[in-house]
């Protein structure tokens, strides 16, 4: 039976016997890496570190109660950061980068390859401090900076626009509810007029809230007691509807004015974006050393594989 086991001592002896082969392949790897380093094009990375603000800065529901201002966390929670990262990496942001930098035209990229080409040079990463680290890399430092600025602007615009659209939807719903209240108030007004006419109590503006009679109300008699009670009930309902209508009017005003005039920024820029002045290529020494290690390991594997194939050939013959 063929023995396919390898002994460590045998392997070391084999590698030592093939020292020249190992050396040649390793040197070739080093030479190739040096040539690559010498002819490579410098690239520049524009970057920015930002803190995402909490929803409380955009959402009227988290900012206000009916009568008070709620104090909430100023920094975004984990799920809010996830949403910001999703928006930063979506296709609208990528398209805006291309639009602002004319990326496809400058790089002469096919339409179908454009998205992947931009994504390959554009990264969004969450740091240990829950900040966002956003980078764009290109051979042109001006293009790298403009692309990063475009990404931040578009993401912020999309993020805030969500709440603007939400506020518009809410105001439409408020208008619908106020119209229902207006219809109810009109119907109650008609009923109040009918009661006044039926019981001949025109000289009364209406019962004082919470009392059956006052100095300005009609005298209570056996014939108009039922009418005054009905009038009192109707006026109380009308008061509640008027109060609800006033609250809705105030609520609509808050939603209408909250984001429409001055957009609030969602990103607090801790650093950047700045125009990069130093190339961001990997350091030459790391490339050369990495290539040397990779070439040496490849040479060892090649020697072992060749030796194993030779052994099998001899065993079969």
- Would the pLDDT of 222 be above 50? yes
Q: What is the pTM of this model?
A: 0.60
Q: What band does 208 get if pLDDT is binned at 50, 70 and 90?
A: very low
Q: Kindly report, residue by residue over 137-146, the tens digit of the pLDDT.
A: 998 899 999 9
Confidence band for 259, pLDDT divided at 50, 70 and 90: low
Q: Are 91 and 67 within 8 A, CB to CB?
A: no
- Average pLDDT, rounded, for the chain: 79
Per-residue pLDDT, averaged over 175-195, amounts to: 88
Instruction: Set out the domains of the chain in order of their start, with CATH numbers.
Output: 45-281 (3.30.1890)
Span 173-186, average pLDDT: 88
Beta strands in the chain (DSSP E): 44-52, 122-126, 132-138, 267-271
The predicted pLDDT at position 263 comes to: 57
Query: Average pLDDT for residues 157-180, to the nearest whole number?
Result: 81
Buried b (16+ CB within 10 A) or exposed e, 239-267: eebeeebeebeebbeebbebbeeeeeebb
How many Cβ atoms are within 10 Å of 232's Cβ, its own excluded? Answer: 20
Q: What is the pLDDT of residue 309?
A: 86
pLDDT at 64 over 60: no
Region 163-177 average pLDDT:
80
What is the C-alpha to C-alpha distance for residues 173 and 170, in angstroms, rounded to an integer? Answer: 5
Query: What is the predicted pLDDT for the residue at 314?
Result: 78
- Average of per-residue pLDDT across 91-119: 90
- Rounded to the nearest 5 degrees, what angle is found at the Cα of 80, between the Cα atoms of 76 and 82? 125
Query: 48-52, 213-217, 252-256: which has the minimum mean pLDDT?
Result: 213-217
The answer to whether 68 and 121 have CB atoms below 8 angstroms apart is no
Q: How confident is the model at residue 96 (pLDDT cuts 50, 70, 90)?
A: very high
Length of the chain: 317
> Is the pLDDT reported for residue 169 higher than 90?
no
Q: How confident is the model at residue 130 (pLDDT cuts 50, 70, 90)?
A: confident
The confidence score (pLDDT) of residue 135 equals: 93
Average pLDDT over residues 43-58: 78
Q: What is the pLDDT of residues 276-302, one digit of tens each?
A: 888 877 788 888 899 999 999 998 998
For range 235-257, the mean pLDDT:
82
Cα 189 versus chain centre, distance: 50
Tell me which of 14 and 295 has the higher pLDDT.
Answer: 295
């Amino acid at each position: 039976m063929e023995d396919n086991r390898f002994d460590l001592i045998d392997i070391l002896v084999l590698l030592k016997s093939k020292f020249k082969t190992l050396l040649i392949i390793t040197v070739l790897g080093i030479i190739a890496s040096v040539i690559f380093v010498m002819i490579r094009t410098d690239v520049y990375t524009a970057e920015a570190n930002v803190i995402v603000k909490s929803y409380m800065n955009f959402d009227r529901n988290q900012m206000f109660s009916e009568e008070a201002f709620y104090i909430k966390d100023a920094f975004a929670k984990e799920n809010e950061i996830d949403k910001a990262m999703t928006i930063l990496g979506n296709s609208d942001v990528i398209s805006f980068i291309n639009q602002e930098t004319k990326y496809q035209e400058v790089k002469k990229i096919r339409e179908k390859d454009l998205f992947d080409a931009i994504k390959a040079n554009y990264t969004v990463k969450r740091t240990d401090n829950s900040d966002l680290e956003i980078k764009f890399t290109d051979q042109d430092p001006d293009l790298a900076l403009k692309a990063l600025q475009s990404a931040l602007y578009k993401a912020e615009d999309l993020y805030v626009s969500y709440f603007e659209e939400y506020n518009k939807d809410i105001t439409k719903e408020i208008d619908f509810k106020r119209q229902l209240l207006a219809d109810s108030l009109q119907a109650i007004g008609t009923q109040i007029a009918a009661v006044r006419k039926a019981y001949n109590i025109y000289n009364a503006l209406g019962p004082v809230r919470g009392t059956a009679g006052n100095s300005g109300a009609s005298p209570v008699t056996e014939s108009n007691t039922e009418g005054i009670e009905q009038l009192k009930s109707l006026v109380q309902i009308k008061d509640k509807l008027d109060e609800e209508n006033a609250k809705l009017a105030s609520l609509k005003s808050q939603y209408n004015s909250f984001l429409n005039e001055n957009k609030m920024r969602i990103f607090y820029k801790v650093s950047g974006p700045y125009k990069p002045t130093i190339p961001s290529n990997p350091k030459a020494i790391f490339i050369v050393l990495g290539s040397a290690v990779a070439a040496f390991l490849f040479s060892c594997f090649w020697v072992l594989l060749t030796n194993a194939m030779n052994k099998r050939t001899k065993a079969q013959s």
